[in-house]
Amino acid sequence: MLSKLASLPQSLKQYLIITGNYWGFTLTDGALRMLVVLHFHQLGYEALAIAMLFLFYEIFGVITNLVGGYLGAKWGLNRTMNIGLALQVIALLMLAVPNEYLTIVYVMAAQALSGIAKDLNKMSAKSSIKFLVSGNENNKLYQWIALLTGSKNALKGVGFFLGGVLLTVLGFSNAMIAMATFLFVLWCFSLYALQGDIGKAKNKPKFKEMLSKSRSINVLSAARLFLFGARDVWFVVALPVFLAQIFDWNHWWVGGFMAIWVIAYGIVQSIAPKITGNGEHGKSAPSGSAAVKWAALLTLIPALIAVALTMDFYIKASLIGGLLIFGALFAVNSSLHSYLIVRFAGNDGVSLDVGFYYMANAMGRLVGTVLSGWIYQAYGLTTCLWVSTAFIALAALLSLKLPSHDNDIPQAKTH
């Protein structure tokens, strides 16, 4: 088996290393989120207070994607990926302290470090794929991006389940130590195996180039902001607290259900090219028109769930069934967006464009997370769902301004 791995093309070996890094990081990131939500709910924190624990995680994610894209173009994506792994180890160890030291401010600081780490790792992984696929192989690019993104989210779901298990079996502090040890080993391997020049711009990037000048990227970034705000406004805090409070589910049930949802979501993302009918069998890769169509379909789902909850219509079945349909459609939307940003991005300094785009992604998560805690506490889950509906509708309307055919997509520029 080792000889077969050694004989693989260099680009494929690097893709596997990058994917492995992304997988390992995502496993701990998903577990960390579920551990924090469940542990602090157990300690008596209300939904808004729990949401505030993730405030710096999302704020620093916004900053990191913007600055990280610049650093990736300047230093190389291998370095930004390895820095992300190291910072996550530190963040986990910061949380491995007795409960009396876990003040809101302290946990927010640790979460800020984790947010920096997560988005350095994510930006590096997504940007790297651009350099491992030939410029005219857009179908292959779509498939590789879909596989990377989908597999990552499937593992994030495993991480949600792992978080619930670790909290039950090891407790909060020991769970942090166990995950930090795992990531430290992965970081050491990455330092040895990952190439040193992936993504490093040939022309020295200028700091002012962090902000995209491409209309397509700006529009797609705005659509991404509302798309992910629409998911997190009810999924991040409101849903797990609702399941624990209203359905009276324990940690295992909440963590397990969230895990299954995200795993299924990741699987659908991985096969998005087959679902959309693009990217294979000689068909052209998707363009902006596909993003409009799939966003429009997604808009219906949270609205229907909200109506069912308002009418008290089989609440459990409506919520769980609706969530599964929402996850499948959202996965296709997310996979399409992830392909389009890499397709639109410039070849030299690609991380600048990808970083700007994921800055908008992080801003959407930030808005969604804060609203999730506040709206749920003040108005309930149904209002969260109506806000989600409005956000998705805005994403669909913005997508109308994207190039409507693959031939209309501008050729990759250089910075």
Average pLDDT per 10 consecutive residues for the chain, totaling 415 residues: 56 72 86 85 78 78 72 70 89 88 85 85 71 64 76 80 86 91 90 65 53 74 92 85 83 77 85 73 66 92 95 91 92 87 65 74 85 88 95 94 63 45
Residue 34, SS3?
helix
The verdict on residue 3 lying in a domain is no
Asked whether the beta carbons of 391 and 229 are under 8 A apart, the reply is yes
The pLDDT value recorded for residue 74 is 66
Q: Which amino acid is at 173?
A: S
Gap between the Cα atoms of 25 and 126, Å rounded: 14
Q: Which amino acid is at 255?
A: G
Instruction: Give the domain CATH number at 67.
Output: 1.20.1250.20
Burial class (CB in 10 A: 0-12, 13-18, 19+), 195: middle
The verdict on residue 414 lying in a domain is no
Instruction: Note down the domain range covering 204.
Output: 10-408
The pLDDT value recorded for residue 176 is 92
The pLDDT value recorded for residue 412 is 45
The verdict on residue 60 lying in a domain is yes
The verdict on residue 1 lying in a domain is no
* CA distance readout (Å), 302 to 22, 89, 150, 279, 362: 30, 37, 22, 29, 21
* CA distance readout (Å), 265 to 23, 152, 396: 15, 10, 20
The pLDDT value recorded for residue 138 is 66
Gap between the Cα atoms of 78 and 16, Å rounded: 13
The verdict on residue 413 lying in a domain is no
The verdict on residue 129 lying in a domain is yes
Taking each helix axis as running N to C, give the angle between helix 138-169 and helix 315-344, from 0 to 180 degrees, rounded to the nearest 10. 130
Gap between the Cα atoms of 294 and 46, Å rounded: 35
The verdict on residue 5 lying in a domain is no
Into how many domains does the chain fold? 1
The verdict on residue 182 lying in a domain is yes
Query: Which of 409, 399, 403 is closest to 221 using CA atoms?
Result: 399
Gap between the Cα atoms of 4 and 372, Å rounded: 48
Gap between the Cα atoms of 5 and 284, Å rounded: 31
φ, ψ for residue 197, nearest 5 deg: -125, 10
φ, ψ for residue 42, nearest 5 deg: -65, -35
Asked whether the beta carbons of 55 and 165 are under 8 A apart, the reply is no
Asked whether the beta carbons of 340 and 220 are under 8 A apart, the reply is yes
